[in-house]
Chains A and B, each alone.
Chain A
Amino acid sequence: MFDWRPSEFPPRHQAPVRDLLPKPGYPGVIRTHFDRGGRVVLIPLKDFPVRVLLWAFPGGYCLDGTTPGITMMTYDLLKEETVHYSRERLAGELERLMAGVKSRTTEDVVYVMLHVIGPKWPEALNRYMEILHEPAFSQELVKKEALRSIQQIMALRADPSHLARVHFREVVFGSHPYHLVDPPIPFLNGLHRWQLLDHYLKTFRPRQGVWILGGDVDDTLIKSLDERITGPDEASPAISHEMFPIEERDRARWVYRPGSVQTTYVLGVSLPGIDAERWPAYQMASTILGGGASSRLFIRLREEKGYTYGAYSQVQFFRHGGYWAMSAQVRNEVFEDALRETVHILEEFADRGPTDEELMSARRQLLGRYTIQIETLEGVIKREVDRFSLDLPANYWETYPERIMSVTREDVCSVLEAWSQPYRLVCVGEPYKSKQPPEPHYLAERYNNTLKRAVEWDIAELA
């Protein structure tokens, strides 16, 4: 806490800052095992009447095998009904208990989470265990939800940011499972309950993965939980851990969106799989480039040029690959100028690296942001899921401040070399008032004019 006495207050023209670093304290987390097998993470945070229980298991999209979307649909529909509870009854009862069950399939992990506020934990836990152990996957539900999913995907494709995300993933990851954003429509059209049931039976291995228990909890809950978990002990199917191939050419994709008054663009590069030691350097570099309102992209494109409402940089790592992308939405008439400016900002940064002031600022930003992120139980749980999902060192988050503080200028320059790889570019909009994309290499030469590299436009019809 600040300790200035009033007589020491600085004059009004001077910013009252103290040269102190944020001091985040990661909560005491207990990592243990069930007696009967299975990892447990206990996060006791008793200052708020909330409890969370989450089961996460590895694989994510990579569990799909030759059926993209099967894992996402299986664990989405798992929580909808059980052999004893219809969807209507289950949803209503959980909400009356001030509880919610959420499932999510990501690139590397699947999780099913129970979140309860207040005293109805025992009843909510019963429903959660039933959801995990006795899902129904009735054909009526599967048929309706497959149709609804198709309609939801159609509705989502009206959103230019979603379209950009779908295409950027394809341009970066090709046919690797990481490209998945929505389940494929032909798969949904033919979906049958037996597929989901079969996938559930193959993948539901509750003593694999990790159980995260947080909030108003203590270790006595671990024993009672251990007794309630049933299911096969053998390993789930092997997961392909192959790295996706990085293509040698720049790839760009044009998505014509009639009537668009803005063009959304994403410019990025592929990254290798997560490297826990270098991740902080990537975060520092991305923060300086486009991590907030004081970043280079934001200041130049919004505050100086007025091209956009926001321009950002994002580094996204998975176990076996990742990307670093810059994105913005701009009015059509300034699209080319904005893209050129984006490349210029990047190139300047890659050539000269960060200033000392930027480095110090990024360190404080990341530490401050981290302190804010772990203020809530949900924030801590997200970090624990990331730790499991990315296979980070056990003490990764406890030592995060030291990791950030140890990043040097050379480390940041080193990760900026990622931008010497072939570029990936996706543009969604109608900047030329025509369904036809730009003349061959016309735009490519402009956006990449300073790097003097040829770019081929890639074509993909949206189903």
Chain B
Amino acid sequence: MSNMDLLKAMEWPINEHRLDNGLRVLLMTNHRVPLAGVVVYYHVGARDEKPGETGFAHLFEHMMFQASAHVKKNEFFKYIESWGGSFNGNTTHERTVYYEVLPADQLPLALWLESDRMRSLAVTREHLQNQIDTVKEERRYRYDNAPYMGAWLLFNETAYSNFANAHSVIGSMEDLDAATLERVKQFFHTYYRPDNAVLVISGDFEIDATLSWVNYYFGDIQPGGPIPRPELDEPPLDGPKRLDVDDPHAQLPALLFGYRIPPWGDEAFYPAWLFLTALADGRGAFLKRKLIHELGLAVDIMPIFDGRRGPGMADILMIHPPNVEGDHLMEKTQSLISEYVHSLDDKELERAKAVILREKFTDWQENLERALTVGEHAVLDGDPKQYIRDMKSLLEITPSDVKDHAQKLFIPENRVHAVIRSTNKNVSGGSDV
């Protein structure tokens, strides 16, 4: 059985419908476990925010859990959890997603909750202030109080020129504080509508019965008018670009660097993904072998493939010993990458493809992950089956495809790097009292 045969086994039958109001409905049955996953994607993300309202799309995601016409504050959590389910949501630059996994018997509950908030979000100023406080705590937790994460925010502001691409999903404290209830309502009416959403249901259910429920709850929600979409174009990086970041929390210094890559669908997109994986993903990755194990110049290496529909970035975070100088490490790494572009062979590429496939297959054991995968492609590519075509394209790429693109992309002129210095004074236990 080849990897291509394995992929064929992952071509799940998708039963697709579109309601009159424009809501796309994708149904995938799997009766092995008595669970059902419900996923709702909205085609709105941080890139749709305007200057002065950074973090708003994510804050809005929090507001969707607050209250709707028939579901009071805290009831959403209680309904889902007390009937044996779990839930969450997340926001990226491109889209916002909400999901629940429930015992299959309770599938109508998730549909009712999702439809009620799509139809009739009902939040107050008090709810908004509470969630502004909560999201500010999330920002502190994930970024302001965490090593290397403050640098990550600055790095992206340097890597992109266009506001839509450059600003962070979490947003600034000032902009979060400035959010108003009026803007929440406006945002809801602009983006949270059936014709801007995809509903995916995956798991142990019957298609006809489920479609009846979907029609009952979602069928009469009104669509809206045209939706504004941001301009995502970026001028070339015209690098190399460099920034210094003092990190009060890092105990070890780090180098964060990345290369501008083309949008999804571009012929260079998958070769760039494979090249980054070959360089830095998995225990056998080239830069780990060289810089960690052979030369001792790095402690940890983490790839971050930030592929988007507009220009994206292929980034690497490299934590290194204090006696290694950041710019020197960048120079050494760049020289290794330049050599590797020429020496990349079938064996190296085979490893990179296997690393990506193994990660995907491991995720796809869960119904929810399958629903998230097809929903993401439906909302962003328009085609839920694009996930399988992507993987097939990936398998067909040859070393010369990767070399052709990598030698144009992974070069200093197309690079940003941040030298992160630790300004941390050693943490200590306190003194006796």
Contacts and interface: CB of A to CB of B under 8 A. Distances in A.
B282 A91 contact: yes
B103 A368 contact: yes
B347 interface: yes
Contacts of A92: 284, 347, 351
B85 interface: yes
Contacts of B209: 1-4
B243 to A, nearest CB: 20
Contacts of A16: 108-109, 111-112, 213
Interface string A362-382: 001101110110111110000
Give the most central of B73, B105, B357, B433: most A CB within 10 Å.
B433
A4 B358 contact: no
Contacts of B138: 309
B251 interface: yes
B84 A95 contact: no
B264 interface: no
A34 B375 CA distance: 46
Interface in B409-433: 424-433
A377 to B, nearest CB: 7
B103 A255 contact: no
Interface stretch (A127-135, A270-278, A314-322, A437-445): A437-445
Interface in A13-65: 13-18, 20-25, 47-50
A127 to B, nearest CB: 12
Give the most central of B73, B116, B361: most A CB within 10 Å.
B361
A304 interface: yes
Contacts of B112: 12, 15-16
Contact of B252 (A151, A257, A309): A151
B61 interface: no
B1 A118 contact: yes
B147 A459 contact: no
A302 interface: yes
B299 A152 contact: yes
Contacts of A460: 429
Contacts of B212: 6, 9
B408 interface: no
A254 interface: yes
Interface in A290-308: 292-294, 298-299, 302-304, 306-308
Nearest to A372: B101
B145 A260 contact: yes
B138 to A, nearest CB: 4
A154 B84 CA distance: 40
A3 B208 CA distance: 11
A154 B252 contact: yes
B296 interface: yes
A95 B144 contact: no
Contacts of A208: none
A364 B427 contact: no
Contacts of A158: 147, 249-252, 424
B137 A330 contact: yes
A325 B109 CA distance: 32
A158 to B, nearest CB: 4
B33 interface: yes
Interface residues of A, number: 104
B181 interface: no
A155 B302 CA distance: 14
Contacts of A424: none
A3 B429 CA distance: 60
B78 A119 contact: no
Nearest to B78: A294
Contacts of B306: none
Contact of B430 (A50, A99, A254): A254
Give the most central of A95, A159, A257, A260: most B CB within 10 Å.
A95
Contacts of B82: 294, 357, 360-361, 364-365
Contacts of B133: 306-307
A147 B322 CA distance: 13
Contacts of A93: 284
A223 interface: no
A329 B321 CA distance: 29
Contact of A437 (B79, B299, B431): B431
Nearest to A259: B248
B207 to A, nearest CB: 11
Interface string A250-292: 0001111111111000000000000000000000000000001
Interface in B310-369: 319, 321, 347, 350-351, 354-355, 357-358, 361-362, 365-367
A452 interface: no
A3 B82 CA distance: 21
A284 to B, nearest CB: 13
B281 to A, nearest CB: 9
Interface in B1-58: 1, 3, 6, 9, 32-35
25 contacts: A2-B107, A17-B106, A47-B32, A48-B361, A49-B6, A50-B361, A88-B289, A91-B289, A98-B358, A115-B362, A117-B358, A144-B296, A158-B251, A255-B427, A262-B140, A294-B81, A303-B74, A306-B130, A307-B133, A309-B135, A329-B137, A367-B103, A368-B85, A368-B86, A437-B431
Interface of B: 1, 3, 6, 9, 32-35, 69-70, 73-74, 77-87, 101-109, 111-113, 116, 129-138, 140-141, 144-147, 204-206, 209, 212-213, 216-217, 248-252, 282-284, 289, 292-293, 296, 299-300, 319, 321, 347, 350-351, 354-355, 357-358, 361-362, 365-367, 424-433
